[in-house]
Structure formats: C-alpha cells, structure tokens
Structure 1
Amino acid sequence: MIKSIDNIGKIYNKNIITGNYIIEVALDKYIDAFNDLDYCSYQKRDMNPKLMYFLENSVQDISNKYGIDICFYMFKENKDKKYEDNIKVGIKTYYYFLFNEHVKEVKDTYKRVVIYCLSSFFILLIQMFLGTIIKSTVLFNTIVECLNIGGWVFLWEALTLIFINRKSLMYNDQNYKRLMESTIYFRYI
C-alpha cells in the first residue's frame, strides 16, 4: 500500500541532498544483516529474513517516484570498512538475483500465455471442425463438449496470467530494482 507523501515524511527521513527517502536499520553486529544458518562467504550469503522483510515492506511504503537510501546504524567500536563493503555487495547481489529471477518468471509467464492461447485456438478449431463433419451421437457430443470446455479453460488461464498475475510480478520487479539500485551507507553512534 502506498502511503500519502505527508505520512511518508513522518515515517521516513528524507536525504536533503538526493531527495531519496532513507530506510534506517540498526544493527548490533555486521553479521546481523545476513542469515545465521548460511555459511557461505558474505557476498553469496542470504540476507537475514527479518531484514529482508523490513526492507521490502519499507520500499512498498515509499512512492516509486522517490529513490531509496538504506542507512545502517552501528556502534563506533564495531566499525570495519571490509564488513561494510561486504554488506553493500551482499544486499546488491541478493536483490540483483531476485530481480533477474523475476524477469525470468515474467518471460516464462508470457511464453505460457502464448502456449495457452494457441492451445485454446487449436482445441476450439478442432471442436468446430468435428462438429460439422461427424454425425451426432451421445459419445461424439460428449467429446465435442469436452473439447469446447478445454479450449475455453486454456483461454481463461491465459487471460488470468495476463491480467491478474502479471501485475504482482511487475510490482515485485520494481521493488527489487529499487532496492538493488539504492544507496547504502553506514552511520556510527
């Protein structure tokens, strides 16, 4: 749900220089940004599910016309430039991966739409052709009606993919792209 601009200003600070809204995250340790159960290197490690959920919900609050900054707050004694870079690369890589996976999913959806439309067309064409050339019997009428129903089901599935599922896929793509392109920085208290 997109909030009004007045409410966004109450929830998120705005970067005066860039005009981006700032998503502020407090971390005790650098490792808190990543999944505890994933033992890969930091560049390949999954994000902490709670952090991922927080970032994705925060991005949904902020209108698409504004950019996103992610500011991590940490204690001064924990400052380590190497870990900062690992978190920046890890987050960008994570959302780059999700963005590319969703792009593939959208392409697969369009392929399925074409296949379903062609299947519907050919099944309905066969149904009409059989209806005109074969003598009417109970078995034949049942087969023709099954083809008719099957053709319309394929067409309905194609329309569902186009008009219902596509919007949610495209919305996720926009959010992942915004997170992938966000400016990430650290402040120490």
Structure 2
Amino acid sequence: MEKEFIQTEETAEEAAMNAVKKQVEFSDKAGKKVYEKRVIDLAAKNDDDFLSPFSSVGKPVISQEVADFLENAASGSHPKAEIDLNIYGDCISDSERPVYEEAIKNYYSLKFTEAARTVTRKGFISLIFTIIGVVTLSLMFVLSELGAGAVWTECVDIFAWVFLWEAVDQFFIERKGVLLKMKRYYAFMNSRITFISSPEE
C-alpha cells in the first residue's frame, strides 16, 4: 500500500493567521522571551514506514521520511519554540503509539547528541586555527625584521589570514548554524505527542 504523510488542510485565512502568530514574540513574567508554540499535524494513511528498519536494539527511531516531514513542518517557527505534535491515523494501534512516541524522542536525542559533538569539534578546530594564524603572523613579523623578501612575508601573511578567517567561519558561522539545529532537536525531544484516531472533518 502506498505510504503518505500529509498535513491537515487549513483555510487561507487560518494559514495567514498562523503565519502571523509564528512571528509573534512575547515576554513571560521573568522577562525572558517566549515564542509561539508550534503545532504540527501529521496524518498517516499508512504507517508501514513510520519506523526506520535500522536502529539500536531496544531503541527504535523514526524513518528519514517522517523526520523530513516534521522538520519541514517546524521550519517556519523559531528554533526555541515549543512543539506539539498531533498524529492522526486509524492505522496506528494502541500498542504502537508508545513505540512511535519513543522512536521520535530517540531519533532527535541522537541528532542532538551528534550536533553537540559537532559544536565541540568546531570550537576546538577554530581554536587550533586561531593559534596557527597568530603564530604565523608572528613569524611574518620576525621574517620582516630579518630582512626576508617581500614575496615570502606576503605569502606568510596570506597563510596566516586564511587560518584566522577559517577560525572565524568555524566558530561564528558554522557553529552558530549547528547550535540553531540543536535548539530545534531539543524542542522535538521535549515535544508533547498526541495520537488521534482520525483527522477531524
């Protein structure tokens, strides 16, 4: 049977209102920014491929297709926004529901851990590149004082700035992007998941 994962339909007016709500930020009593909660409706006409065929023993995870759908559905909201996930489908039995919920949590827990390692690695790489860049710049000044040719000092200067730029790129650009993904994964890890027998008419 053909599998299909679709979002429940909404009117143009509701879609416009939801688009506006996604952009709204308000402050809680502590003065911290709180972002509009994102509600994702997933309709499963067939759940044969809801779970990935490969996972650790006792730790099921969702398939890549389901993960892609969830992340695309959440892409319009702020990474820090809380997520409520409503899963519609008569094909999902009561015994499968806790397994599917665990699979969603497991998948994003693994993604969060992987992203955390990437952040640490990029921070370490940026530190190494910074050290190399600074040491190389120091070498350039030494060569200049020793009367080395302009070509050599220029080459060393370019070499140093390449490493310094890579350090900036790794720490402030690439690392920042991974941190945003971590916030999204964390939101899915702590999402409230509700199973509903069938979509509302």
Identify the TM-score tier after normalising by the shorter chain: 0.7 to 0.9
Matched, 1:103 2:120: no
| Post-superposition offset of 1:145 | 2.1
Matched, 1:73 2:88: yes
Query: 2:129–2:163: 8 Å Cα contact kept in structure 1?
Result: yes
Q: Residues 95 and 84 of structure 1: is their aligned pair in 2 closer, same or farther, counting only changes over 3 Å?
A: same
Superimposed CA distance per residue, residues 11-65 of structure 1 (whole angstroms, 9 cap, x where no aligned partner): 9xxxxxxx84421111134333223xx2447854553323211211222222356
Query: 1:123–1:151: 8 Å Cα contact kept in structure 2?
Result: yes
- Equivalent residue of 1:62, what SS? coil
| Post-superposition offset of 1:10 | 8.7
Query: 1:123–1:147: 8 Å Cα contact kept in structure 2?
Result: yes
Matched, 1:124 2:137: yes
Indicate the residue corresponding to 2:183 in structure 1: 174
Partner of residue 50 from structure 2, selected from 27, 33, 39: 33
Gaps of 5+ in 1: 12-18
Amino acid at match of 1:123: T
Q: Counterparts of 1:1-189 in structure 2 under 5 Å?
A: 6-8=17-19, 20-35=37-52, 38-40=53-55, 44-64=59-79, 66-75=81-90, 78-133=91-146, 135-136=147-148, 140-189=149-198
Superimposed CA distance per residue, residues 129-182 of structure 1 (whole angstroms, 9 cap, x where no aligned partner): 12212x44xxx4433222111101111111122332233212111111111110
Q: Residues 97 and 20 of structure 1: is their aligned pair in 2 closer, same or farther, counting only changes over 3 Å?
A: same
Amino acid at match of 2:193: I
- Equivalent residue of 1:33, what SS? coil
TM-score, with normalisation over the residues of structure 1? 0.78
Q: Residues 161 and 41 of structure 1: is their aligned pair in 2 closer, same or farther, counting only changes over 3 Å?
A: closer
Gaps of 5+ in 2: 1-14, 23-35
Greater relative contact order (Cα < 8 A, sep 6+)? 1
| Post-superposition offset of 1:123 | 0.6
Q: Residues 85 and 63 of structure 1: is their aligned pair in 2 closer, same or farther, counting only changes over 3 Å?
A: same
TM-score, with normalisation over the residues of structure 2? 0.73
Mapped partners of 1:152, 1:10: distance in 2: 44
Q: Residues 168 and 64 of structure 1: is their aligned pair in 2 closer, same or farther, counting only changes over 3 Å?
A: closer
Select the structure that is richer in helix: 1
Number of residue equivalences:
171
- Equivalent residue of 1:32, what SS? coil
Q: What RMSD over aligned residues (CA atoms) do the two structures have, in Å? A: 2.7
